[in-house]
Structure 1
Amino acid sequence: MNKSSIFWYDLETFGTNPQVDRIAQMAGIRTDLDLNIISEEMIIYQKPTPDYLPSIDACLLTGITPQIAMEKGSDEVEFLNKILKEFMVPNTTVAGFNSINFDDEFIRNDLYKNLFDPYRREYINGCSRWDIINLVRACHDLAPEGINFNHKTEKGNTSFKLVHLTEDNNIEQVGAHDAMVDVYATINVAKLIKKKQPGLFDYYFKNHYKNEEKKLIDIADHTPLILTSVNFTTPLGSTRPIAPLFIKDNTVYAFDLTKDATALQEANENEISTLDGIVRFAINKAPFIAPFNVLKKDNRAQRLGISIETAERNLAIIRKDSSIAKKFALSNQEFIKKDSDPDLLLYDDTFTSKRDTLNLAIIQNTKPSDKLFKNLIFDQPKYHELLFRQVGRNWPQFLTDEQKALWKNFCSSRLLQPLSTGIDYFTYMRNIEEKLNSKSVTGKEKLILLALKQYGEAIYSYAFT
């Protein structure tokens, strides 16, 4: 039987948009629950594909060029299989620093676009995911003794950047934005908190599982909690008292008890979900929540600028009005803007049918050379296009002449009309030239820019010949 362990990981990416941008590098290592390292380092790269131009700024930040990823990397499917092999070891908690909102989103989108189940690895065989950034925020707000938080942002808020935490606490982090360096820094920050505030560390780790989070949430009685979230961040902290109001799927709708709860009584079902004071958090994203009484200890409420009396008065208003939860149930304000390109449809609000699930399993077990010749019928048309793109991105050598022409046409269209935050090829090349001509560019940066220029010219030539 596999013992419980934590697999710590970090990604370096070719951009910041997980729907559009690609992973460049992944690094990880496994520890036991006492944070002792029990495995070798894992450092792998993912090859870029000719339908995508890496962000210039991302490459300058990490130093990873497309050529490095091409030389050291695997295709997308092989890369993902290597990751899943580690993530899905029974009783593994996959953890990082701001990983749930960034790294995990890249992993999910990469899995989806390559026709894997994007969520299975998060719960199968006792597996889960965790993220210590909210532990750090909670430590600052609730139990800061023994940990230094010296850096501030321009707004005067405490900085929770990994590089600042390591500097403030004399933790070595030579080479920030190197994935393996960041992994070790994350583990060492976790060790510091576990040593200085073991009760807080153990509480959050125990309750990071979705089923444990659910036990703390009482919708019927609106039992108050505290929530630590980046959305609450002020110079005083990131924690507020909340009252849970409604839960849908994995999303909890709650009210910030520092706000005026009479607005909930006055709002109708079409207004309530957009009121000032309504907060949402996902119980499958390891939120930091704790009992309300935690605020009443050690002068915490006063340090955070929170009035216990105001919170309790607003809670009483909510508890007296039984119509509030009903309004949420009737609310129709959750409009989702629908994208049309299949690459963007991970969260398209449709369930995968039994037939599509079966077809996806068939595809995963089919040789690359045969994937496009299965003649499978999908209920969701997006899977036909995703399958074609998967073969083009991973195994273009198995495309027929006609399919190669279609693939190159797709690549050329993406270079000229990229998705979302991307820039077109000609703007991309012009930006590179402008940076190369800048007097502030260092020698190292010039080499990266020249590599990006060469890569851009190469994939343009591929797509248009």
Structure 2
Amino acid sequence: MRPAGVNWPLKEISEEELQKINANKSVNATNNIASQAINTPSTGQKSTEKLAKPTKPSFKLEDLSKANGLAHEAAHDALSDVRATIDLARLIKTTNPKLFDFCLSLHKKDRVAAELGLPTTLQNARPFLHVSGMFPAERGCIAIMFPLAMHPSNKNELIAWDLSEDPSTLATLSTDEIRLRMFTRASELPQGMTRLPIKTIHLNKSPVVISSLKTLTPEMANQWGIDMALQMKHAEKATELPDMNAMWAEIFKRPEVEKTIPDVDADLYGGFVGNNDRRRLNQLIALTPDKLFDARTGFEDERLEELYFRYKARNFPEVLNEDEQERWYEHCSGRLQDGQGGARSLEAFYAQLNELSKTADAKGLTVLTALAEYGDSLA
């Protein structure tokens, strides 16, 4: 999506080039697997300071631009962010063109499937490297994953296990236990219980997946705390898991939602926001993104906690923690797959497009085709 105020061409950069650069946030992190293509900055206090905090790599555009001597006049301004992204992409392509071109090739879902060896079975599946902002920066945003199954209702989504933990646990859990440990926030789980290291990967979202584990050098594995020998043992155990296809269908089956309860985004008749809450909202909206993470809300109106969470997720997804990222994913998935909150599901969306196509002229069909492609990008 082109930001407001950006006209093409922009310093001889085409719109197509910018669309391809969408993968760059993952390319930045992939820099921690292959040879260094760019300087990766660290956050935290220096060790000489009192109460020193351990440093960790930062993949924020603002920090990366500064560490690599690139201009970024107004962080979080759409036009400035676009220019900085283009400059960073050019730097990566110049210093490590092979890595850059590989990541760009993954914008095709068939290429992603081939890299993962899909379709496959548990017995024949192979582990792979995955780079994602869902993994902590302290581990380089890297994990060695194992394909468990395809999502029961989304052919473009792979269910995978983080091999830093033993997958044998899955064979001992019931459907309800797996669901609980997948979809419940860590802070809300019973004491002593942890979330399962399961992540779904969208094949059509340009994921950075690498089939060759040799890409991760021993030095890099050591730096990011990855025990290759142990994780390969975990991979062997994953191949011995029983067939869980029937369980996945139940695990991902969503409970019926009471349709009479209005969603907070559409609750026009739920009453006006009180003066105290209005003042607090104005204070929160004025905060810079880096201040949103620790900001306390203290709302009196119970609707505002959810609305504030959605405000952060839509406008500043980089400030969400892991639990919040999963919560936002579940919200979006529920809307698109099941029409939760009164939303139009993708199934209903495509059905309406098909109905309209029966009477559309050539111009109308062009519009409907574009809408269908947009729907495909969301699936």
Residue-by-residue CA offset, 1:335-367 (whole Å, 9 max, x unaligned) = 5867756979555245137762256569998xx
Distance 1:294 1:310 in 2: 15
1:138 alignment partner AA = T
The equivalent position to 1:357 in structure 2, one of 346, 353, 359, is: 353
Q: How does 1:151-162 map to 2 (within 5 A)?
A: 151-152=42-43, 156-162=55-61
Q: What does residue 252 of structure 1 align with?
A: 158
Distance 1:168 1:333, change over 3 A: same
Of the three residues 217, 231, 251, the one matched with 2:134 is 231
Checking the alignment, whether the CA contact within 8 Å between 1:250 and 1:282 is kept in structure 2 is yes
Q: Post-superposition shift, 1:334? A: 4.4
Structure 1 match to 2:178: 272
Question: In 1, Cα distance between the equivalents of 2:256 and 2:82?
Answer: 35
| Contact 2:34/2:216, CA 8 A, preserved across alignment | no
Structure 1 stretch 315-324 or stretch 346-355: which is displaced more?
346-355
Within the candidate set 185, 206, 210, 1:286 is matched to 206
Q: Which residue of 1 aligns with 2:12?
A: 37
CA distance in 1, matches of 2:229, 2:165: 12
Partner of residue 316 from structure 1, selected from 233, 236, 252: 236
Which residue is equivalent to 2:28? 136
Aligned CA distance change for structure 1 residues 308 and 182 (closer, same or farther; 3 Å)? same
Residue 111 (structure 2) aligned to one of 183, 202, 212: 212
Preserved CA contact (<8 Å) 1:157 1:233: no
Structure 2 runs not aligned, ≥5 long: 45-52, 183-194, 267-331, 340-344, 362-379
Q: Structure 2: which amino acid aligns with 1:270?
A: D
Does the Cα contact within 8 Å between 1:10 and 1:183 map onto a contact in 2? no
User: In structure 1, what residue type is equivalent to 2:160?
Assistant: A
- Structure 1 unaligned segments of length 5 or more: list them: 1-8, 12-24, 40-85, 87-91, 98-129, 366-465
Q: Partners in 2 of 1:233 and 1:215 — Cα distance?
A: 27
Q: Of the two structures, which has the highest relative contact order with CA contacts closer than 8 Å and spacing of 6 or more?
A: 1
Measured in 2, the distance between the counterparts of 1:213 and 1:357 equals: 28
RMSD of Structure 2 on Structure 1 (CA):
3.5
Q: SS in structure 2 opposite 1:172?
A: coil
SS at match of 1:149: coil
The structure with the largest alpha-carbon Rg is 1
Map residues 11-410 of structure 1 onto 2, 5 A cutoff.
Answer: 11=3, 25=4, 27=6, 29=8, 37-38=12-13, 92=16, 95=19, 130-139=22-31, 141-152=32-43, 156-217=55-116, 218=118, 219-220=120-121, 221-248=124-151, 249-273=155-179, 274=182, 276-297=196-217, 299-332=219-252, 334-335=254-255, 348=339, 349-352=345-348, 356-358=352-354
Q: In structure 2, do the counterparts of structure 1 residues 235 and 296 end up closer, same or farther at CA, with 3 Å as the change threshold?
A: closer
Is contact 2:134-2:141 (8 Å) kept? yes
Q: Which moved more, 1:341-350 or 1:199-208?
A: 341-350
Distance 1:362 1:168, change over 3 A: farther
Q: Which protein has the bigger strand share?
A: 1
* Residue 320 of structure 1: how far off its partner (Å): 1.4
Contact kept, 8 Å, 2:149 with 2:158, in 1: the verdict is yes
Describe the shift of the 1:244–1:337 C-alpha distance in structure 2 as closer, same or farther (beyond 3 A). Answer: farther
Structure 1 residues 244-276: Cα deviation after superposition (integer angstroms, max 9, x where no partner)? 111122211100000121211111233335251
> How far is the alpha carbon of 1:135 from its aligned partner?
0.9
**Structure 2 CA distance, aligned partners of 1:358 and 1:261?**
43
Counterpart for residue 295 of structure 2: none
Q: Secondary structure at the match of 2:6?
A: strand
Q: Distance between the aligned counterparts of 1:323 and 1:267, measured in 2?
A: 13
**For structure 1, which segment, 193-202 or 343-352, has the greater mean C-alpha deviation from structure 2 after superposition?**
343-352
Aligned to 1:76: none
CA distance in 1, matches of 2:350, 2:131: 38
State the 1:95 CA deviation: 2.4
Cα 1:264–1:354 shift into 2, 3 Å? closer
Q: Contact 2:20–2:104 at 8 Å: present in 1 too?
A: no
Deviations 1:65-101 (A, max 9, x none): xxxxxxxxxxxxxxxxxxxxx7xxxxx466277xxxx
Q: Deviations over 1:169-192 (max 9, x none)?
A: 001122333322221111110011
Q: Percent identity?
A: 22
Is the alpha carbon distance of 1:227 and 1:359 closer, same or farther for their aligned partners in structure 2, counting shifts above 3 Å?
same
- Within a 5 Å distance, the mapping from 1:382-461 to structure 2 comes to none
**Whole-Å separation in 2 of the counterparts to 1:336 and 1:309:** 44
What is the rounded CA distance, in whole Å, between the counterparts of 1:10 and 1:159 in structure 2?
Answer: 25
1:334–1:164 distance in 2 versus 1, CA, 3 Å = same
| Alignment length (residue pairs) | 258
Taking a change above 3 Å as real, the CA distance of residues 319 and 150 of structure 1, as seen in their structure-2 partners, is same
Q: Which amino acid aligns with 1:233?
A: P
Q: In structure 2, do the counterparts of structure 1 residues 317 and 201 end up closer, same or farther at CA, with 3 Å as the change threshold? A: same
SS at match of 1:244: strand
Change (3 A) 1:296 1:166: closer
The equivalent residue for 1:124 is none
Q: Distance in 2 between matches of 1:330 and 1:276?
A: 17
